[in-house]
Structure 1
Amino acid sequence: MINTLHALPVNETEWHAWHFSRNKDAIARTGATSLSTTHWVSATSLKEAHTFPSLPGRWYHKGGGVVGAHLPPSFTTTGTVQLRPGELLVAEDFTLTVIERLGEFALQVFDARNPQRLEFQSIAAFPPSAKWRIEARFFPEPDTVNITAADGVIVAIPTAGWVHFLKNRVDYRLRVTVQSKNLRALFSDNSATLGVYPHRFVDIPRPDFEGNTIIDFNRSYLPPKALNQNFLCPAPSLNNHLNLTVEAGEKWVVAGN
């Protein structure tokens, strides 16, 4: 448990820059609203290769990635391309990339003409407030947690420990994973009763040598699935439900013709 009730100042200029960036990224070529579909690729040879609606060529899995063959010049000058996870192929209105899960590979197709992208207006958010930028403390407790993706697949995720914070003199905690520069929590809370999307992420700065850090719920953000149902984002574990109403951060997507 931590022994502080201090809320911390919020730099509103930085928050508005972050919020602007989130809206801009949502409609980028590989932004959340641009994802058209995810094709799982089980074929392992050209003979067995898949064909997919609205996408040229034939596709199969090989050597840690996905191969596309019989492609038009707008995709590649050689007719064949191999994509590994994280690599991009930009062609016409499409941007293609590959993801890997449990040793299986999928081709993600981002389309600049995707209806979600064309209808997107903004991400609604609560005004920033100092009362939701809170001192916290990290307690390491490495573990592995099973989470369920949107398509029902269970994935084991390594976790780093717990981040504790006080709110209204009550000790709360969130289980966190390690990202490249931050800790990250996927959480739910009672703000869903206000119409807020049922779960959100919050990134937390790496703690100092004593475990001290800051959790800024003003920068809680929606998972990609909130912007586009084609994503396979998991729901948080029951242990990461906060029994309070976090009126901070992103709320929902505003869309329309």
Structure 2
Amino acid sequence: MSTEDSGHPGVPVEYATWRKSRWEEVAGSGGKAGTVQLAMVSHPEPGVPGLPGRWEVSASGVLTLTVTAADGVSIGGRPVTGAVDVESGSQVKLADGRVCFVQGRGGTYGMVVWDPSAPVLTRLRDIASYPYDPSWVVDAEYRATPGRTVEVERLTSPRSTETASAPGDLVVEIGGREYTLVVVETVPGLRMAIFTDPSSGADTPEIGRWLILPPDEGSALRVDFNQVILPHHVFSTAFPCPIPLEANHLPVVVDAGERAPVLDERNRSTVTEPDKKGQDGTMEPELTEKAVQYLRHLEKFDFASMRAMCADTATVWHNDGKGEQTIEANLEQLEQMSSGGGVVALRYEITRQFQKPDEVLQQHVLHINMPDGSGTELPVAMYFGFKDGLIDRIEEYANMMPPDEGNVSGDS
């Protein structure tokens, strides 16, 4: 991990200590970056998919694991065979090097499966953060809202929605203006404000960042935006993290806290396109990054930059029954849509990406704002084909809108 903040003048010791503990939480044994599976088991349903042996909870709440010698399972460094009781807090090591961390209460047990060879963990070199800024340590007010709940989406596949406790609002002053963030408590005792800002999807994750509130139950709080963290989902898709509420979008950039994971591109454990260098000798961005960049240009209606990312032979196809277009015809149609007042704003909320050599498949939700103040959301799958690092083919599969809702179907 980088220690750029350690010992730097003006950086509190407490912050440097927090950075080290945060690194251990993400990259240490059992950390978020190595987590490949989350599972639950309770009585009377036995079994945990993907794990050897038979896991079952008795009617009295005891967790038992039954394995054979061939399974190669050990607990506490000792090989186990047959049926053995597994206590909460145990670490079960599997033959392939994975470790299952077990925690349980009241007859229900949760398993965190950690893999030392997980792709992100083996490539993770640092967690990029904004420079420490004492001005982001601010006084805030916590306004309790007992009994309140909100509907939150989770990054599952397909997306899921759940009712979560929203026990209060966090009122903070940024740049002389007061903003209110809804606080959610998806895990008992863990209160957090999940927010987005103009950096989301560009310098920071599309799915926002987390501000964990101190445990103080009082109304007056001291919060440190320098300790804003990345969602667990950024390090492992095993975590079905909650998506920030629309109300929690801050119109000002929070240039404090964690920004993005820093990955070693020379140590890839998945099959991706070979490294390529640009004419200036620097490494070109991943194709997944280029796909995102293309859509960010569209959000800004920067059609010249979009065209520069495409090959001369690029074609575009939508599932609207109209066939395919040249890239020039598609961009002309998009420009007419934006200049004609049909759409005020577009925002792409990217949920999943898959990459193969010269190909990217992406799922996202397209948020569309109309001139009359109305808005809509489209779940979309988009395919990008690349040729020599340029986009050569775009295919978009969207839930089509009725014609009277605006000329935006499949054209973005």
State the alpha-carbon separation in 2 of the partners of residues 104 and 187 from structure 1.
32
What is the CA distance between 1:41 and its match in structure 2?
A: 5.9
What is the CA distance between 1:135 and its match in structure 2?
A: 1.0
Cα separation, partners in 2 of 1:12 and 1:87, compared to 1, 3 Å:
same
2:122 alignment counterpart: 118
Cα separation, partners in 2 of 1:132 and 1:45, compared to 1, 3 Å:
closer
2:257 alignment counterpart: 249
What is the CA distance between 1:13 and its match in structure 2?
A: 2.3
1:91 alignment counterpart: 93
Q: Residues 27-66 of structure 1: matches in 2 within 5 Å?
A: 27-39=27-39, 44=44, 49=47, 52=50, 55-60=51-56, 63=59
State the alpha-carbon separation in 1 of the partners of residues 180 and 199 from structure 2.
17
The reply to whether residue 108 of structure 1 matches residue 105 of structure 2 is: no
What one-letter code is carried by the residue in structure 2 that aligns with 1:176?
A: V
State the alpha-carbon separation in 2 of the partners of residues 160 and 141 from structure 1.
5
Q: TM-score, structure 2 length as denominator?
A: 0.51
The reply to whether residue 170 of structure 1 matches residue 173 of structure 2 is: no
Question: Retained in 1: the 8 A contact 2:102–2:111?
Answer: yes
Please say which structure displays the higher CA radius of gyration: 2
What is the CA distance between 1:159 and its match in structure 2?
A: 1.9
**What secondary structure does 1:243 align onto?**
coil
Question: C-alpha offsets along residues 178-201 of structure 1, whole Å, 9 cap, x if unaligned?
Answer: 577764222222222542113111
Aligned length: 240
Q: Which moved more, 1:55-64 or 1:240-249?
A: 55-64
Structure 2: unaligned runs, 5 residues or longer:
1-9, 268-412
Question: C-alpha offsets along residues 98-145 of structure 1, whole Å, 9 cap, x if unaligned?
Answer: 589xx9976432112222211111100001112211111111112112
Identity %: 24
Q: Which structure shows the higher strand fraction?
A: 1
**What secondary structure does 2:213 align onto?**
strand
**What secondary structure does 1:16 align onto?**
helix
The reply to whether residue 70 of structure 1 matches residue 67 of structure 2 is: yes
Question: Retained in 1: the 8 A contact 2:41–2:48?
Answer: yes
The reply to whether residue 145 of structure 1 matches residue 150 of structure 2 is: yes
State the alpha-carbon separation in 1 of the partners of residues 66 and 231 from structure 2.
33
State the alpha-carbon separation in 2 of the partners of residues 12 and 182 from structure 1.
25
Structure 1: unaligned runs, 5 residues or longer:
1-9
Cα separation, partners in 2 of 1:150 and 1:208, compared to 1, 3 Å:
closer
**What secondary structure does 1:246 align onto?**
coil
